[in-house]
Amino acid sequence: MAMTAVARETVFALRRQIAKIEGTLPERLAAPAGAQSGARPDVDAGPGIAPELTPEIIILRRGLAVASPDAFLRTGIERLDTALSGGLPKAALSEIHGAETRDAGAVAGFALSLTSLILKQEPHLPVLWIGTSEIFREAGFPYARGLHGLFGIEPEQLLFSEAPKLVDALWIAEEAARMTALAAVILEIRGNPQRLDLTATRRLHARAQNAGRPVLLLRQAGEAEPTAAPVRLIVSAAPAASRDTIAGPLAGSIGRPAFTVSIGKSRTALPGQFTLEWNPDEHTFEERRQERATNPVAVVPASGRRTHPAPASGAVLAFPAVGSPAAGDQPSRPQRPAHISPRRAG
């Protein structure tokens, strides 16, 4: 009995070590080991896990999936969160890439959307944006008015740091990454400098882990190369939807910002491409499904009078989204105001 207890202890210690390396909170990891029932829901939640595996093995293999839900920043898009096995890790370095410098607007916009989501939980902390002089010259300096209008970040909450050289930018980032008084640190650089290698990113990642704050590494016009960041997202701009008005979408107008996000690297290694739309009023993401945007289908409301309603024309797939956050992307249909002609029931 004592032997097994010691063995268990060793296993737990090893597991804790693995969890630390993988970036999971060890306290949560230890909890389900005693009570197997506690781990059950996590097993079900984990994507694509064979149910016959015992929970312990799952914990070892998918440390992130069982970690506390606080460890992740949920984007609010179910598919993206699932593909990232729960969301973007909060206490970690995350890379956000843009293919070209001219994508800087979309990349920065996506990073700021994430920051805005973080600020929902930490409303009073400031955000530090570090950039080299080069990137601020090439891609433009962050404009506080626009940031406030779109992401609700107050100017008093913003701190900018412009470093003449990459070495200085990295030093500031390292110093900032270990501060718990910052909601998030954004480090923006251009290209693939030699200095930002595996070691440098590992230092940033380790500090972010210790402080429990996210560090977003924005790389404009950079190639994917090995770094310590657990997640790499590749962001480019997507054509915006038209503005919504009472009379339907306004033709030719430019609506909410939209991004195409693809997962370049993640622990689950599930590929995926998502078109996200940022809602500047609610400060939430909404997903836009490509097939519906390209092939709008008129949805005929089912008649309530007949016992055997006529089958709706078009795919039924489009319909279940009603009531979900994606409902905003429903193709417009002539709307009947409820108060003018109330629908008779029965």
Partner 1 sequence: MISHRDRNAQRISALDERAEALRLKRGMGIADARAMHPSIDIVEADPEADRRLLEGLADWCDRYTPLVAIDGTDGLFLDVTGCTHLFGGERAMLDEILSRFFHQGFDVRAGLAATPGAAWAAARFCGDRIVAGGEEEALLAPLPLAALRIAPEIRTSLESVGLRTAGAVMAAPRAPLARRFGASLLLRLDQALGRLDEAVSPRLPVAPLSVERHLSEPIMLTADIERLVSLLAKTLKSDLERRGEGARMLALLLFRVDGAVSRIAVGTSRPLREPVLIQKLFHERLAALEQDIDAGYGFDLVRLSVLSAATFDMQQADLAGEAEDNDADIALFADRIRARLGEAAVLRPVAVESHLPERAVATVPFSEAPQRRAPPRQRNNPPATVFPPERPIRLFRSPEPIEVPATEMPEGPPMNFRWRRALYRVARAEGPERIAPEWWRHQPGEEEAPTRDYFRIEDSDGRRYWLYRQGLYGASEVPPRWFMHGVFA
By CB under 8 A, tell whether 147 contacts partner 1.
yes
Q: Which is closer to partner 1, CB of 52 or CB of 156?
A: 156
Stretch that binds partner 1, among 42-50, 172-180, 198-206, 299-307 (CB under 8 A): 172-180
By CB under 8 A, tell whether 59 contacts partner 1.
no
The C-alpha angle with vertex 179 and arms to 235 and 222, in degrees rounded to 5, equals 25
By CB under 8 A, tell whether 197 contacts partner 1.
no
Phi, psi of 166 (to 5 degrees): -65, -35
**In the complex, what is the shortest distance from the CB of residue 135 to partner 1, in angstroms, rounded to a whole number?**
10
By CB under 8 A, tell whether 214 contacts partner 1.
no
Stretch that binds partner 1, among 6-14, 87-95, 104-112, 219-227 (CB under 8 A): 104-112
Could you give the 3-state DSSP secondary structure of residue 140? coil
CA distance 243 to 313: 27
- Residue 331: C-alpha distances to residues 269, 275, 312 (Å): 33, 16, 15
**In the complex, what is the shortest distance from the CB of residue 260 to partner 1, in angstroms, rounded to a whole number?**
8
Q: Which is closer to partner 1, CB of 39 or CB of 183?
A: 183
CB within 8 Å of 179: residues ≥ 6 apart: 211, 213
By CB under 8 A, tell whether 249 contacts partner 1.
no
By CB under 8 A, tell whether 159 contacts partner 1.
yes
Q: Which is closer to partner 1, CB of 141 or CB of 319?
A: 141
By CB under 8 A, tell whether 179 contacts partner 1.
yes
From 238, 261, 276, 326, residue interacting with partner 1 (rule: CB under 8 A): 238
By CB under 8 A, tell whether 141 contacts partner 1.
yes
Which tokens go with 118? 């973080």
CA end-to-end span of the chain, whole Å?
69
Which tokens go with 160? 């900018």
CA distance 268 to 319: 30
- Residue 82: C-alpha distances to residues 28, 56, 93, 176 (Å): 20, 21, 19, 30
By CB under 8 A, tell whether 344 contacts partner 1.
no
From 10, 171, 291, 301, residue interacting with partner 1 (rule: CB under 8 A): 171
By CB under 8 A, tell whether 293 contacts partner 1.
no
CA distance 216 to 222: 15
Phi, psi of 227 (to 5 degrees): -140, 175
Which tokens go with 253? 């107008």
CA distance 93 to 185: 10
Please report, as a single letter, which amino acid is at residue 290. Answer: Q
Q: Which is closer to partner 1, CB of 77 or CB of 318?
A: 77
By CB under 8 A, tell whether 140 contacts partner 1.
yes
**In the complex, what is the shortest distance from the CB of residue 27 to partner 1, in angstroms, rounded to a whole number?**
19
Upper half-sphere CA count for residue 257 (Cβ side, 13 Å): 27
CA distance 304 to 317: 21
Residues 257-276 that bind partner 1 (CB under 8 A): 257-260
From 6, 14, 254, 300, residue interacting with partner 1 (rule: CB under 8 A): 254
Q: Which is closer to partner 1, CB of 103 or CB of 287?
A: 103
- Residue 274: C-alpha distances to residues 19, 53, 242, 291 (Å): 29, 31, 19, 12
By CB under 8 A, tell whether 167 contacts partner 1.
no
From 34, 41, 69, 123, residue interacting with partner 1 (rule: CB under 8 A): 123
Helix axes of 198-211 and 166-177: crossing angle, nearest 10 degrees: 30
By CB under 8 A, tell whether 33 contacts partner 1.
no
By rule CB under 8 A, what count of residues binds partner 1?
60
Could you give the 3-state DSSP secondary structure of residue 25? coil
- The site for partner 1 (CB under 8 A) is made up of 102-106, 108-110, 112-113, 123-126, 136-137, 139-147, 149-150, 154-164, 168, 171-172, 175-176, 179-182, 236-240, 252-254, 257-260, 278
